[in-house]
Chains A and B, each alone.
Chain A
Amino acid sequence: MKPFTDFKSRMVRLPINNVDTDQIIPARFLKTTSKEGLDKQLFNDWRYDANGNPNPDFVLNQPRGQGAQILLAGDNFGCGSSREHAPWALTQFGFRAVISSSFADIFKNNSLKNSLLPIVVPPDVHEKLFALPEDAEVSVDLAAQKLILPDGTQVGFPVDGFSKTCLLDGVDELGWILKREARIAAFEQAHG
């Protein structure tokens, strides 16, 4: 995994609660055996009309939806299916962080394994972020676990220590587990 570095970016706003992974990438695109090219299908059914033309009302098709690395989403983002294609599609599109008031458990786990940082903020901060001007840039400092708003306000966010280390150092979780081979073998010995 590539180490996660600090960055500053505008935010793409998606003020909808309970965005499920079927919306992030519909199931019919899950017949692929590769991880690549999923950015084209990100939010497919909101992004394109029945003829495959971009829907001008959808934020990713507007200038404000281009080039931003932060997705500012409604509550309980990523609920539903466990498909890791969701964070793959988001990161391939260019997102490095999603900010919400809460995330579904499996999506959050999957994101952390793909250098996509799920940032949970309290409801009042969540509201404040949605109220910022479209071009406002927010800084993400993972080491300090802080968001820095344009007016200099700093907002802390929780990240468990292990995930933080993995993100910052680019630690490969499978590699970490493989180093515990002796422990695993001992467990198997004891439990049959």
Chain B
Amino acid sequence: MPRTLIEKVWDAHVVADEPGAPSLIYIDLHLVHEVTSPQAFSGLRERGLLVRRPERTLATADHSIPTTDRALPIIDPIARKQLEQFEKNCADFGITCFGVHSDKQGIVHVIGPEQGATQPGMTVVCGDSHTATHGAFGALAFGIGTSEVEMVLATQCLLQRRSRTFQVRVEGTLKPGVQAKDIILALIARIGIGGGTGHIFEYTGSTIRALNMDQRMTVCNMSIEGGARAGMIAPDDATFQYLAGRPMAPKGWDWDASLEHWKKLPTDEGATYDRAISIDADALEPMITYGTNPGMGVSITAPLPEPSSIADPIERESVEKALRYMGLEGGKPILGHPIDVVFIGSCTNSRISDLRAAASVLKGRKVSPKVRVMVVPGSQAVKHQAEAEGLPEIFRAAGCEWREPGCSMCIAMNGDQLTPGQYSVSTSNRNFEGRQGKGGRTFLASPLTAAASALSGTVSDVRTLV
């Protein structure tokens, strides 16, 4: 019987299927960071358990780590204690950790792929909902809670129920100024943030095939914002070329064997999905969110929704509440709205392609003196690559801050944050109330839109520059 990519990866990882219980599935790669793991390590100590497969576990510090000079001490005593405890936990349990001072440190969803640890056909978990990112390689990758982190550390397994399958088919050619971020923001605006609940997305179609791996990661990353725990893309030559020669990728004979296996992963002809949706890439414009969840997005040239024209009372109320929090008026354009901060970074958009895109807009120009612009590379490797290409000079000359890698202002728990009432255009993934700092107001957009907005100090359409 023809199977989807999702089903093939699932079937290959079932350890046990007992009546009356969920499937016991094997986890190939467990990524660990400092925020969702301390209580799991405490649990192991209380039970006297060890990490079953430390070599299948990879850790890095990203969430609460400052993005200032790493030679400086960490000022926040609670963050410092968490980071010290994290590195001790990894050392005690024999886990490779790219800690605060490692030259491989970075956002967990950036370093997995760049090290070649994330591979097609794998199951990948992490105590972080943006684990969906790794699905760009044809891995079944999803976020878990801390209790599950403890289970995977101890047993390398999880009890899981099979999700339903949801094909997101994207056909056509992206117009200049439109990026991978706009595809995923458009999808979420269409289906809503609960639209994919209980499902795993598989992104297919000519537009997806034409994306490079960084761009595919941007799309898969925000699957969770559409309610799906995971989002996958079938591996192809772009995937294999990306992985070849990476430090943790298979080598020599192993590489050939892996390649043979990976090539069998794409969805079979005739396989069916539980749900499907089509997106016309030719019709996409740059997208931006205006509200307090990632589903509240519009084309950048469109007016904001008018609550009075929304029939469903709860939906109307939620849009009203969001507009109130955001200090916006329905029916008005979002284009030209003044902003205070631009954040270019996060597991969604902090890879080298993202930085190159932002730099292409900022090169030889100056950002608005009213705006603080933070550029935060996703990892030390991304940072080094950007340095080799001269990108920090472009950013600095334009008036941007070039910082050390981490989650930074995406989650705003390391001191990088908005002050109450401030507006940001952010390349991150969440615009929830207070997400970037209590009282802060976030417009989510692509790196191109963020860079264009930095120049004018207002929400701007990059196509008016190109």
- Chain A residues with CB under 8 Å of chain B are 15-18, 20, 22-23, 26-28, 30-35, 45, 50, 74-76, 79-84, 87, 102, 104-106, 109-110, 113-114, 160-162, 165, 173-174, 176-178, 180-181, 183-184, 187-188, 191
Determine if B26 and A184 form an interchain contact, defined as CB atoms under 8 angstroms apart: yes
B126-158: CB near A (< 8 Å → 1, else 0) gives: 011100000000000001111110110011111
Q: Which residues of A contact B197 (CB under 8 A)?
A: 76, 102, 104-105
Question: How far, in angstroms, from A56 to B293 measured CA to CA in the complex?
Answer: 25
Partner of B16, one of A34, A180, A191: A180
B420 within 8 A of A: yes
Contact of A23 among B194, B315, B432 (CB under 8 A): B432
Say whether B21 faces chain A, with CB atoms less than 8 Å apart.
yes
A-binding residues in B (CB < 8 A): 15-16, 20-22, 24, 26, 35-36, 38-39, 42-43, 47, 49, 52, 63-64, 76, 78-79, 81-82, 85, 127-129, 143-148, 150-151, 154-159, 161, 163, 193-194, 197-198, 224, 227, 229, 293, 295, 314-315, 318, 321, 411-413, 420, 430, 432-435, 438-439
Contact B79 A31 (CB under 8 A): yes
A180 proximity list for chain B (CB < 8 A): 15-16, 24, 155, 157
The answer on a CB contact under 8 Å between A84 and B15 is: no
Give, as a whole number of angstroms, the nearest-CB distance from B323 to chain A.
15
Q: Which of B129, B227, B318, B434 contacts A26 (CB 8 A)?
A: B434
Q: A16-B321, A184-B157 are in contact. Are A104 and B433 (CB under 8 A)?
A: no
Given contacts A79-B193, A102-B197, contact A160 B151 (CB under 8 A): no
Residue of A at shortest CB range from B142?
A106
Would you call B39 and A27 a contact (CB within 8 A)?
Answer: no
Q: Which residue of B lies closest to A103 (CB)?
A: B197
User: By the criterion CB–CB under 8 Å, are A104 and B78 in contact?
Assistant: no
Chain B's closest residue to A1 (CB) is B147
Most buried by B among A27, A106, A176: A27
Beyond known contacts A110-B145, A113-B145: 8 more, CB 8 A cutoff: A23-B432, A30-B63, A30-B413, A32-B78, A104-B194, A162-B21, A162-B159, A183-B15
When C-beta atoms are compared, the residue in chain B nearest to A165 turns out to be B20
Across the interface, do A22 and B430 meet the contact criterion of CB distance under 8 Å? Answer: yes
| Minimal beta-carbon separation of A94 from chain B (angstroms) | 20
Q: Are A177 and B145 in contact (CB under 8 A)?
A: no
CA distance A50 to B419 in the complex (A): 11
User: Known interface pairs A80-B430, A104-B194, A162-B22. Does A31 touch B127 (Cβ–Cβ under 8 Å)?
Assistant: no
Q: Could you say which residues of chain B place their CB within 8 Å of the CB of A82? A: 36, 127-129, 143-145
Alpha-carbon distance A181/B81, docked complex (angstroms):
34
User: Are A109 and B63 neighbours in the complex by a CB distance under 8 Å?
Assistant: no
State in angstroms the CA–CA spacing of A113 and B78 once bound together. Answer: 27
Q: For the complex, what is the distance from the CA of A106 to the CA of B128, rounded to whole Å?
A: 10
Contact yes or no, A113 B147, CB < 8 A:
yes
Within 8 Å by CB of A178, from B35, B63, B154, B435, lies: B154
Contact between B314 and A27, CB atoms less than 8 A apart: no
A178 vs B154: C-alpha distance when bound (angstroms):
8
Does the CB pair B293–A20 fall under 8 Å?
A: yes
Min CB–CB distance A186 → chain B (angstroms):
8
In angstroms, how far is the closest chain A Cβ from the Cβ of B253?
13
Residues from chain B with a CB closer than 8 A to the CB of A104 are 194, 197, 227
Contact B24 A74 (CB under 8 A): no
In the bound assembly, the distance between CA atoms of A20 and B145 in angstroms comes to: 15
Within 8 Å by CB of A184, from B21, B144, B155, B198, lies B155
Chain B residues in 8 Å Cβ range of A87: 145
Q: Which of A27, A83, A113 contacts B148 (CB 8 A)?
A: A113
Task: List the A side residues contacting B128 at CB < 8 Å.
Answer: 81-82
Residues of A within 8 Å of B38, CB to CB, are 32-34
Q: In the complex, what's the smallest C-beta–C-beta distance from A2 to chain B, in angstroms?
A: 14
A-B contact pairs, 5 of them (CB 8 A): A75-B194, A75-B314, A114-B147, A165-B20, A178-B155
Contact of A102 with B194 in the complex, beta carbons under 8 Å = yes
Chain B residue contacts of A187, Cβ below 8 A: 15, 26
Complex Cα distance, B293 from A74, in Å, reads 14
* CA–CA, A32 and B64, complex, Å: 11
> What CA separation (Å) do A23 and B295 show in the bound complex?
17
A79 and B79 form a contact (CB under 8 A): no
Bound together, the chains give a CA A45 to CA B172 distance in angstroms of 43
User: Are the C-beta atoms of B159 and A79 separated by less than 8 Å?
Assistant: no
Q: How far is the CA of A178 from the CA of B411 in the complex (A)?
A: 34
Most B CB contacts (10 A, CB to CB) among A18, A87, A188 go to A18
